[in-house]
Copies of this chain bind each other. A is one copy, B any other.
């Protein structure tokens, strides 16, 4: 169940340049490169002539030349030259994808090109590139379906069990109040905890092991974006609900994930975990990086173990989880799944 009429992150900006890059997105083979003006281009990565990936070829100005028989394609995917013959036949074109670059991400529209409205690019604000923030960024190919990753980030009680050496502790799973909000185009869940013991990282960065108020706000935007705000204060100071999505209080950090299905059961995960420099000072940067990379690796192990258990389950058909029931903490992820199903149905009907 892959949604197509959406902008997906195809690559980090710095990975798209004058060397063509081939990548499978939603089962489609895409080649990415930059034109002479620096703007990213995305074309079908399969020469219309004899199927060689165009990423095996080379750039010639604003055009890409196939590495097999030299057919040349413009940025619009239309062939402009066939070696050894004067005319270019009409079939000689490859699919061209709308592209938008914003902050440090190159977004590609995987649906009908005429619907590709740049205003629909998710508003991932500038902190990715903001010098006031220290960001750990990267990319992983997850051997698991994209909804497994969304599930993870919409139920942060898992920090207690998966990340207990850094961001989780027992109180996180047991003593949170959940507030779930849903609009047409997002699901947001807040976990709110009053007067709980701080998890290890909170003590390490604040130097205070006294009780805290803590919040985690996860916001899902279809098809597969997650924005998490983690914040805390000294116990009793807290923050009103309307301020929690945008503030880390005394100490916290933010997480962005853009998930782009490679196939139904494999996922490109583009991640950024960022702390304001007032909360992650220079001498703590290496520690913060190591901790957050550890957290990401712990989650990756979960996805792949889940996918293995799902593949072995004769009742799921291998494509997705098949939970036998739901618990209270599942509210947000169930809303996410219903939203994806609704959007998928709308795409199919259109």
Contacts and interface: CB of A to CB of B under 8 A. Distances in A.
Contacts of A176: 84
A83 B173 contact: yes
B52 A306 contact: yes
A114 interface: no
A322 to B, nearest CB: 7
A160 B70 contact: yes
A199 to B, nearest CB: 15
A313 B46 contact: yes
Interface in A142-165: 151, 155, 157-158, 160-162
B155 A69 contact: yes
A310 B65 CA distance: 19
Interface string A43-73: 0011011111100110000000111111100
Contact of A160 (B83, B306, B314, B328): B83
B160 A67 contact: no
A159 B309 CA distance: 40
Given A48-B325, A308-B53, A70 B151 contact: no
A296 interface: no
A92 B69 CA distance: 53
Contacts of A89: 325, 327
Given A51-B310, A158-B68, A84 B174 contact: yes
B324 A161 contact: no
A126 interface: no
Contacts of A53: 305-306, 308-309
Contacts of A151: 50
Given A69-B173, A161-B66, A302 B27 contact: no
Given A92-B325, A301-B56, A302-B52, A162 B84 contact: no
Contacts of A313: 29, 46, 51
A179 interface: no
Given A46-B313, A66-B161, A83-B329, 17 more contacts: A46-B312, A48-B325, A49-B323, A49-B327, A50-B306, A51-B313, A56-B302, A67-B162, A68-B158, A68-B302, A68-B306, A69-B157, A70-B161, A84-B176, A89-B325, A89-B327, A92-B327
Q: Which 3 A-B pairs rank lowest in CB-CB distance, beginning with the nearest?
A: A91-B325, A83-B173, A46-B309
